[in-house]
Amino acid sequence: MPFYQMPDGEQLFVRQYGQSQPVLVLSGLGMLSWQWSAFLYPHRKKYQFIIPEWRGFGASSGCRIPNLDAISSHWQDVASLLEQMQLDQVKVIAYSMGATTTMHGLQYGDFAKHISAYLHIDQTPKITVDDTWQYGLFGQKHAQFKAILKELSTVLAAHQNIVLMKDLTLETRQHIADLWLQFIALQNSHPYSLKAFQWALNQPRLQSVFLPSARVDYMAWYINNYLHHSEDYRAAIQTLKCPVTFFSGVQSKLYPIEGQNQIAASLPQAKQIRFEKSGHTPLLHEPIKFGKEIARFLRNIA
């Protein structure tokens, strides 16, 4: 499982297993490459799975942050990886932030001509909510979401001289934990779940586990990405001419199902699989169905 040198000299970890047809797997924020194994490893005799770990996570956690926003940086890393592996045609499975990275490549990197089949898992083509698009991140709660991110960004910006979250003062860590709990509450209204998160975020030793990053700079980088992201990929995703499948969590509070339905319907060759009991994480909410539909997607693109 090698490391690949990126254009800025940093070493990006890429988990690889299997043989034959290459399948590029682009994960969501905070995911580690091994978390796909239960769904993909059984298919390793027919497919070669290529799963990069994003900067700041897993074995790529030591990578330096470039002078780019997170999505632009991720696409640059993906483009470099494809070039180094000499992959002209590749099947793509992309979830959440990985899907945003794919759409960024469609918009700015002519990625469509290199994708032979595409699986898009629970993501919107436009993060921002405005008069032209009501189905961005958190939908009707988008303004609340942005307010939380803005305050988080301000707090983190004041402590960029400190590397690790655990080295912040107790007061600052608690402020960040309180804000993060507000963020969790936007997507999970279950009182018992919120109490569990509240308890964990009030424990200094557990705070870094429940925050998106143990590093101050990386948490700020990702927070600012979603705070300032203003791209609209609706036209870009329609450049895909290959077979396209959408996995959509009907209960998703992050990305309203109405928007996902619209985008799926905008591609005449697309198929949409609805996960009726799932929110943003169908691989956790309906793992058996998720595994069966992944297998179906792979069979249909053979």
How far is the CA of 32 from the CAs of 40, 100, 256, in angstroms? 14, 17, 25
With a cut of 90, say whether residue 4 has pLDDT above it.
yes
The residue assigned the tokens 């960004």 is 153
For residues 105-139, b (16+ Cβ closer than 10 Å) or e, as one string?
Answer: bbbbbebbebbbbbbbbbbbbbbbbeeebebbbbb
Residue-number span of the structural domain to which 62 is assigned: 3-126+231-300
Does residue 241 sit in the same domain as residue 99? Answer: yes
Does residue 113 sit in the same domain as residue 61? Answer: yes
The band of 153, judged by pLDDT with boundaries at 50, 70 and 90, is very high
Q: How far apart (Å, rounded) are the C-alpha atoms in residues 181 and 175?
A: 10
The band of 38, judged by pLDDT with boundaries at 50, 70 and 90, is very high
Does residue 274 sit in the same domain as residue 170? Answer: no
> Among 41-45, 70-74, 180-184, 202-206, which is the least confidently predicted range?
202-206
Does residue 115 sit in the same domain as residue 260? Answer: yes
Does residue 143 sit in the same domain as residue 91? Answer: no
Does residue 118 sit in the same domain as residue 259? Answer: yes
With a cut of 60, say whether residue 79 has pLDDT above it.
yes
What is residue 103's predicted lDDT score, i.e. its pLDDT?
A: 98
Find residue 51's DSSP bridge partners: 15
- The model's pLDDT over 257-272, given as tens digits with 9 standing for 90+, comes to 999 999 999 999 999 9
What is residue 127's predicted lDDT score, i.e. its pLDDT?
A: 95
The tokens describing 40, both together, are: 């993909």
* Final residue belonging to a domain, choices 198, 228, 258: 228
Does residue 213 sit in the same domain as residue 248? Answer: no
With a cut of 60, say whether residue 206 has pLDDT above it.
no
What is residue 208's predicted lDDT score, i.e. its pLDDT?
A: 58
Q: Provide, rounded to the nearest whole percent, the portion of the chain with pLDDT above 90.
A: 78
What is residue 210's predicted lDDT score, i.e. its pLDDT?
A: 60
The domain total for the chain is 2
With a cut of 60, say whether residue 150 has pLDDT above it.
yes
DSSP strand pairing (11-18 vs 21-26): unpaired
Eight-state DSSP code of residue 130: B
Q: Does 132 reside within a domain?
A: no
For residues 253-277, b (16+ Cβ closer than 10 Å) or e, as one string?
Answer: bbbbbebbbebbeebeebebbebee
Does residue 90 sit in the same domain as residue 189? Answer: no
CATH number, domain of 255, equals 3.40.50.1820
The band of 204, judged by pLDDT with boundaries at 50, 70 and 90, is low
With a cut of 90, say whether residue 234 has pLDDT above it.
yes
Surface-to-core class of residue 45, CB atoms within 10 Å of its CB (0-12 exposed, 13-18 middle, 19+ buried): exposed
Does residue 224 sit in the same domain as residue 239? Answer: no
Surface-to-core class of residue 228, CB atoms within 10 Å of its CB (0-12 exposed, 13-18 middle, 19+ buried): middle
pTM for this prediction:
0.93
* Final residue belonging to a domain, choices 228, 261, 291: 228
Tell me the angle at which helices 216-228 and 142-157 cross, rounded to the nearest 10 degrees: 140
Closest residue by Cα to residue 259 from 149, 155, 140: 140
- The model's pLDDT over 154-200, given as tens digits with 9 standing for 90+, comes to 999 999 999 988 888 888 988 888 888 888 788 765 544 556 555 55
What is residue 115's predicted lDDT score, i.e. its pLDDT?
A: 97
Does residue 16 sit in the same domain as residue 160? Answer: no
Higher pLDDT, 45 or 188: 45
How far is the CA of 119 from the CAs of 76, 193, 209, 246, in angstroms? 20, 30, 30, 6
With a cut of 90, say whether residue 282 has pLDDT above it.
yes
Q: How far apart (Å, rounded) are the C-alpha atoms in residues 113 and 236?
A: 12
CA angle, corner 257, sides to 251 and 259, nearest 5? Answer: 155
For residues 47-85, b (16+ Cβ closer than 10 Å) or e, as one string?
Answer: bbbbbbbbbbbbbbbebebbeebbbbbbbbbbbbbbeeb
- The model's pLDDT over 93-139, given as tens digits with 9 standing for 90+, comes to 999 999 999 999 999 999 999 999 999 999 999 999 999 999 998 99
The tokens describing 77, both together, are: 């890393």
